[in-house]
Chain A
Amino acid sequence: MLMMNRRGLLGAGAGAAGLLGAAAITPAWARGASLDGRHIRAGFDEVSGGSIDLTIGEGPRVVQGRRGHAIAVNGSVPGPLVRLKEGEAVRLNVTNTLDEDSSIHWHGLLLPFQFDGVPGVSFPGIRPGETFTYDLPPIRQTGTYWWHSHSGLQEQAGHYGPIVIEPAGPDPVQADRDYVLLLSEFTPMHPHTIMDKLKKGEGYFNYQRTTWTDDYPLSGEDRRMWAEMRMMPTDILDVTGSTYTYLANGHGPMEGLEFLFNPGERVRIRVINGSAMTFFNVRIPGARIHIVAADGQNVRPVPVEEFQIGTAETYDFIVEPTGEAMTIVAESMDRSGMAVATLASRPGARAPVPALRDAPLLTMADMGMSGMDHGASGEMDGMDHAAMGHGPQNPGSTQQPEQLEAMNMEGMNMRDTSMLPPDVEVGPGIDMVAMNPVDRTGDPGIGLDKVPHRVLTYRDLVALEPNDDLRTPSRQMEIHLTGNMERFMWSFDGKKFSSVSEDPIRFAYNERVRVKLVNDTMMAHPIHLHGHFFELVNGAPADRQPQKHTVIVQPGGSASFDLTADESGDWAFHCHLLYHMHAGMFQIVTVAPQGDAPEQERVGEHG
C-alpha cells in the first residue's frame, strides 16, 4: 500500500507514511535486480527526482497460495510508482536483467516518439544486460498514468506500475489523502500458454457458458439464435477468473489492501486499469463517488455510484468515506472474480464484501443491431438534427432492457460485407459486420445498463479546462475493429499488423482529423493511441470534449474522436487487450514532421 499526502499527515496515516519516507532513502532499485530466489513483493515503492533508476528482473511470485513466475521492476509487482512533476525534465534509466529484450512504455505521456518505448516502432528495445535512458524533456501534463512493458507478453507477468504527475501549480482537485489503486491480474499460467489456449480452444477460459442447466434469462428461441450464429452470449472477456486472481496494487482479494482515512476526510483514489485483459466495474457500496479525472485529464466532477474502467484507462475519483470501513469492489466485467481494497478508519477495519453479481449477457446492441427491434428513445427534443447535418442519436443507453425476445432473425445477415468501406479487407478474419453501428458512448458498459444506481458513461465526461484546438476536423476517417472469435483473430480493417506493417496510418503535421472507430465484433475493445490525447466526440461542446488516450468501443457500436496530430513520429495504435494486440490488432500511426509547415492558428489557444 502506498500513501501520498498532500495536505499534511493526519492521525493513523502518519506513522505509515513516515515509514515509507524512511524506506525511500534506501534506493529501491538496489534491491531489485538480483532477487536471490526471494519472492517478488506485492505493492510498490515510489521513485522520483530528476534521474530515476528502474531495474527489470524476474522471480517467483505467490498470490493467495498460487505460485507463478513473474517479471518485476525494482523487485515488486506492480513496479514502483514513478512520481514526476509538470515542467521538469527527467531521465529514466532502465536496466534489463532478463535474458530477453524488454522495454518500458510510458502510457499516456506526451514525449518525443523515440522515448515512447515500443520496440520496433519507437526504438530497438532494451537488450539483456543493457541500460537504456529515456531522456524526457520537461513534462507537459499532469495526472494519473502508468507504465508497462511493450515487449512480447511481459506485461501480463507483472511488468507494470503507476505514474503520477504533480501539477506545477495548485491541483484543482483537492483531497486530504491521495492513493493509487492499480488493478491487474495474476495467473500461474505462462502468458504464451494463455495465447496458445485462446487460439486453439474457443471459449477456453469461459466457465459461464450457456448450458442445459444454467439460470440465464434466455428463451429457447434466443439460444437457438446464438447457436445459429455460432457465437456465445456469454463471450464477455476472453480470459477470466478461471485462471486470473484479480489484484489491487498487487494484492489478491483476500490479502487485505487497506487505504486509511479519518472520518470526514476527502480521499482521492487514482484507479489505473493495468490489467492485460480485464475490464473492471468499480464501486464502493454505500458511497457516492465523484469522478474528477479520466485518463489523467481533469473533468467536471461527475457523481456516480459505479463506473466501468477499460483496460489501460485511468479514472480519479473523490470519496468521503463514512463509518468504520468501506469496501472498494472492482468486479471483472464478466463477474468471474473481483479485486478488493478497503477504505479503513483504522488498520484492520473491514466492511462486508458483496457477492459477485450474476454474469451478464450480450445484447442486441452488442450484436450491432441497436434500435432494430424497438424504438430508440430520444433524450432531448425540440431540435432539427437532420437540418443541421447531424447523425441519428441513440438514447443514453443502447442496450436493450429485454434480451432477444420478439426479435425475428429471419433475413438478418450478421455478416453483410457490402456495408464495409472498400479499404476493409474481407476474409476469414471477419466473422461479423455490425448492421447498425450506432455511437455507443452513452453506454455504461456491458452488464451495467440495468443496475439500480447511477453509472458513469463517456457522455458524462466534460473537460474541466477548455481544449486548445477548436478547428473543425478537415476530414473524417473510419477504422473498423474486426475479428473472428472462433479463430481468435483480431485486426483493424480486416488486416492484421503482420500484413500491413509497411503501410501505416498517415497524418499530416498538425492535421485535425475525426477518427470514427466502428466495432464489427461482439467484444468491447479499448483502443489506445500512443503519444497523443484525442478528444472524445461525446456531445460535449467542442472546447470541452474530454481528452483521452484510450477509448472503449462498445460491441457492435462506434465511438469517434477528434485528433490534432501534432506529435511527429511513429506511434503505436492498438487494442489494449494484450492478446488481441498480440493477435494482430495493432497499427502504426505516422505523424509527418513539422518541417516547414506553418504553425496553424488555433482558436481558443491558451497557455
Chain B
Amino acid sequence: MKTLLAILLIGTATPVMAQHAGHTMPDPEPTPAPAQVETPDPDDTDHSQMDHSAMGHDTGRVAPPDDSVREATDQPATHGQSQMDHGTMTMPIPSSPPPASAGSGPPRAADAIWGADAMRASRAQLRHEQGGQTYFWFQGDRVEYRAREGGDGYLWDVQGYYGGDIDKFWFKSEGEGSFGEEIEGAEVQALYSRAIAPFFDLQAGVRQDFAPRDRTYAVIGIQGLAPYQFEIDAAAFLSSKGDLTARIEAELDQRITQRLILQPRAEVNLSAQDVPELGIGFGLDTAELGIRLRYEFAREFAPYIGVEQEWRVGQSADYARANGEDPSVTNYVIGLRFWF
C-alpha cells in the first residue's frame, strides 16, 4: 500500500522549471487608447511647495510601472511617456538572494525582549492558527425513504472526515434494505485520505461489511471534483476471500436557482469474478441512474425528492432472478441531504 501511495505521489509531482523559462505567450497586440490624463484640481491643496520640474511630469495619471526585466525584450516598444524621467529606472534589478547580513539577527527577535519562555506558547498558537487547524465534517449525502413495487425500503449513504488540509481520516457508510425484512447490505469504511492534487484525494483503508455477510475488504480509491464539477468517488475493493470489485459514483449539482438544485447521479459496480454468495456477477454487476431535486433551506439542510433506477446486469441479474427478485427496480425517493 505504501509503495503504491508513493508511486502515485511521484506521479503527481511536476518538474519545476527555473524562473519562468519556457513561458511563451502571444504578444499582446497594442492598440491605441485615449490617454487618460487629468490634472488635479488646483484648489484642493497648495501645490506651490512641489517641485514639478524635478518630478519630470505633471499629470495626474502616472505611467505604468516597470514590471520585470524578463518580459522586456519580447514586447513591442510602442508606448511610453516622453516627459517621464526614467533616470532611476534604467538598470535591471537582479533577483539575487538576500545578503549575508540579512540573517545576522537573532532567530526570533521577540525572545530577546520578552524571553523565550514567555514567547513559546503564543508562538505555538500562532503556528497552529495560521494554517495548522483540523476540522471535522459529517455529511449525510443520501438518507432516504424508497417507495417501490414489492415493499418500500430505505437507504443511507453518509461520510465524513477529521483532519487538516492534506491528511485526513475519512469514513464512509452505506446501507439499504426493505422494511420488515433483514437488511440487504451494510458497510463501513475507515480510510486514510491524502490530498494528492488540487481537486483529488487518494484514499486507502479497510471496509467492513455487516450484511449480507460479514466480510472485510482492503480499499484504495480516489475522491474529488472532476472537470465540469462532477463529484467523483471511485474505489477498488479486495476482499479477504480474494475477490476484487470496484465501485464508481458520480454526482453533479445543477443549480436551477440559488437554493433549488437538481442532482443527477450515477453509480456502477464492477467485479473481476462471480461471487455467488453475495449475488455479484462478473463484469458489470449493477448500475444505478438517479435524479434528485433538493431545496437548500440552508446549505447544511436540504430535503429532496427523486427517482432512481437500479439494474442488475448479466450474471448478477441471473442471481437476482434465482433469488426471486426483479433485476430492475425503480425507486421513488424522499430524503434529506445534510452536513455539519
Contacts and interface: CB of A to CB of B under 8 A. Distances in A.
A539 B63 contact: yes
B35, B47, B71, B101: most-surrounded residue (chain A CB, <10 A): B101
Interface string B27-69: 0111111011010110011110011001111001111111111
B230 to A, nearest CB: 9
Interface in B1-34: 13-20, 22-23, 25-26, 28-33
B240 interface: no
Contacts of B56: 541
Contact of A498 (B63, B92, B103, B128): B128
Contacts of A422: 16, 18-19
Contacts of B69: 389, 391
Interface stretch (B131-139, B182-190, B287-295, B313-321): B131-139
Interface residues of B, number: 120
Contacts of A300: 40, 45, 47, 50, 60
Contacts of B15: 418
Interface string B242-266: 0000000000001111100000000
A148 to B, nearest CB: 15
Contacts of B198: 415, 428-431, 484, 486-487
B323 interface: no
Contacts of B47: 300
A579 B51 CA distance: 44
Contacts of B128: 498
Contact of A200 (B65, B97, B137): B137
A511 B98 contact: yes
Contacts, number: 388
A382 B82 contact: yes
A416 to B, nearest CB: 8
B114 interface: yes
B158 to A, nearest CB: 15
Contacts of B195: 427-428, 487
A323 B76 CA distance: 50
B131 A386 contact: no
Contacts of B84: 541
Given A123-B114, A419-B20, A497 B55 contact: no
Interface stretch (A41-49, A64-72, A248-256, A470-478): A470-478
A88 to B, nearest CB: 23
Given A230-B229, A379-B33, A508 B101 contact: yes
B38, B47, B78, B79: most-surrounded residue (chain A CB, <10 A): B79
Interface string A410-449: 0000010111111010111111000110110110000000
B86 A212 contact: no
Contacts of B22: 418
A594 B97 CA distance: 20
Interface string B117-136: 01101111111111111010
B213 interface: no
B241 interface: no
B85 interface: yes
B227 interface: yes
Given A303-B38, A501-B126, A470 B98 contact: no
Contacts of A124: 110, 114, 118-119, 121-122
Contacts of B105: 568-569, 590-593
A380 interface: yes
A195 B129 CA distance: 11
A390 B92 CA distance: 8
Nearest to A211: B255
A393 B64 contact: yes
A390 B66 CA distance: 6
B179 interface: no
B336 interface: no
Contact of B199 (A172, A195, A431, A472): A431
Nearest to B51: A466
A238 interface: no
A132 B98 CA distance: 35
Given A209-B258, A372-B26, A395 B33 contact: yes
A358 to B, nearest CB: 15
A425 to B, nearest CB: 9
Interface string B79-96: 111101110111111111
Given A301-B41, A472-B93, A426 B13 contact: yes
A376 B31 contact: yes
B339 interface: yes
Interface stretch (A12-20, A54-62, A456-464): A456-464
B30 A377 contact: yes
Contact of A428 (B118, B196, B226, B299): B196
Given A375-B30, A593-B105, A383 B82 contact: yes
Nearest to A125: B122
B150 interface: no
A570 B109 CA distance: 6
A290 B79 contact: no
Interface stretch (A113-121, A159-167, A349-357): A113-121
A269 to B, nearest CB: 14
B85 A541 contact: yes
A329 interface: no
B177 to A, nearest CB: 30
22 contacts: A173-B45, A200-B137, A208-B258, A212-B256, A213-B256, A302-B40, A375-B28, A375-B30, A376-B31, A380-B63, A385-B77, A419-B17, A462-B62, A476-B93, A489-B165, A491-B131, A496-B131, A497-B126, A541-B57, A558-B67, A560-B67, A583-B131
Interface of A: 101, 113-114, 118-125, 152, 172-173, 195-197, 199-201, 204, 207-213, 224, 227-230, 290, 292, 300-303, 318, 370-372, 374-396, 415, 417-422, 424, 426-431, 435-436, 438-439, 441-442, 454, 459-460, 462, 464, 466, 470, 472-478, 484, 486-487, 489, 491, 496-499, 501-502, 506-509, 511, 514, 516, 537-544, 558, 560, 568-570, 574, 581-586, 590-593, 595, 597
Interface of B: 13-20, 22-23, 25-26, 28-33, 35-36, 38, 40-41, 44-47, 50-51, 54-57, 60-82, 84-86, 88-99, 101-110, 113-114, 118-119, 121-133, 135, 137, 165-166, 195-199, 225-229, 254-258, 299-300, 339
Chain A to chain B: the 7 pairs with minimum beta-carbon distance, closest first: A383-B80, A391-B67, A584-B131, A120-B126, A496-B131, A375-B29, A378-B79
Given A393-B75, A590-B102, 13 more contacts: A113-B110, A290-B40, A300-B45, A379-B36, A396-B61, A431-B199, A441-B64, A476-B68, A487-B195, A506-B98, A511-B99, A568-B109, A582-B133
